[in-house]
Chains A and B, each alone.
Chain A
């Protein structure tokens, strides 16, 4: 009898802690986390208090104890480590791969992707479609700029063969670069649904090869064009008159101009500066991680006070290699969109927008009436030179 009583007492004492534990684990409302652990659970676990079991926690308590040398930290997160990894203050060492491989976490990539898929795609499309729409509307309202005077039948050489060769190499490569860039940007969203994913993948592979390799003729032609025409594109006083009269495109006046009018100078400098910038960022993308541009650029911008001038915080000067590539891709596309819009306008005015304009770059010869209407000062210069030059085949007087 006494033995039975002792056994009962022992069982009661042994059961007490378990009973106590059950009662100390409160019911936890986990509806906010969908049944997963809550902050309260984490805090209780860190304090060594029991946690009410949850439905998805079948594997709970199977991790090694926190005291174990190789054990996990349980519910405790080493936030300092994660913060250091995220913001690049860690001391990660790698045996291969250099700075690129050291980056274990780069949350800027998500911002880049969201910007690329969101505002950049949207506003890039608005810019290009808006430009085309505005030009179509302008054409409907204004029509083609006609030749006011009758053609004389006499022509002057507007552009020499090498000038035209360089122009068309630049133009041809830029058009394919622009189209292939647009395919890379919009193909998955807008082309794949039309032609299927397989065909789109083939198209994009071709676009990638074209985009990578046409960079070289584009850059070479850009350099040629710069040296051929820079002297003629230095702004001067005639540009003010030209701009004041909207270049004769609006209204009926035809302001005097030299070889290039103010509008053409704007095109020239846009192509040189924006095309140059696209080339540099493109080289950075062609050779990943080898030509980082932005940390140094941002340092210079901060140092000369550009950011402060606009009331901005200083730009980041410590960039992960991946961030450099993301910024290069973003800048490349942004500048590309702007230059494409400008070139669309250039193509318009050089083809359907103005009578006789294409011949200047097609055959290189323009009628004197056209030259007089659009580039009267240049025509005078050319005619003066022709008057000074000896007739071809003329006899040279003997000494």
Chain B
């Protein structure tokens, strides 16, 4: 069962890692589709 839990753990790590990488790339639609003149808050 270790492989199963390792698979789940890797899934969580990859998801969180993917989130931070994409955030640093400013990938969200809100950011991609706007400019500095647009207030997103």
Contacts and interface: CB of A to CB of B under 8 A. Distances in A.
A164 B15 contact: no
A165 B7 contact: yes
Contacts of B2: 161
A96 B3 contact: no
A166 B35 contact: no
Contacts of A170: 7
A314 interface: no
B14 A165 contact: no
- The A contact surface, by secondary structure, is helix
A217 B15 contact: yes
A171 B1 CA distance: 14
B1 A362 contact: yes
Nearest to A166: B7
A287 B27 CA distance: 7
A171 to B, nearest CB: 8
B7 to A, nearest CB: 3
Interface size on A, as a range, is 20 to 34
Interface stretch (A47-55, A120-128, A207-215, A237-245): A207-215
Point out which of B2, B11, B27 has the most chain A C-beta atoms below 10 A from its C-beta.
B11
Interface string A147-188: 000000000000001101111111111000000000000000
A209 B8 contact: no
A165 B32 contact: no
Point out which of A165, A166, A170 has the most chain B C-beta atoms below 10 A from its C-beta.
A165
Contacts of B33: 97, 100, 288
Interface in B1-41: 1-8, 10-11, 14-19, 22, 27, 29, 32-33, 35
B14 A217 contact: yes
A220 B14 contact: yes
Given A287-B27, A362-B1, A363-B1, A168 B7 contact: yes
A213 B10 contact: no
A386 B19 CA distance: 45
A364 interface: yes
Contacts of B16: 213
**Cβ-closest 4 pairs across A and B:** A168-B7, A164-B3, A169-B7, A213-B15
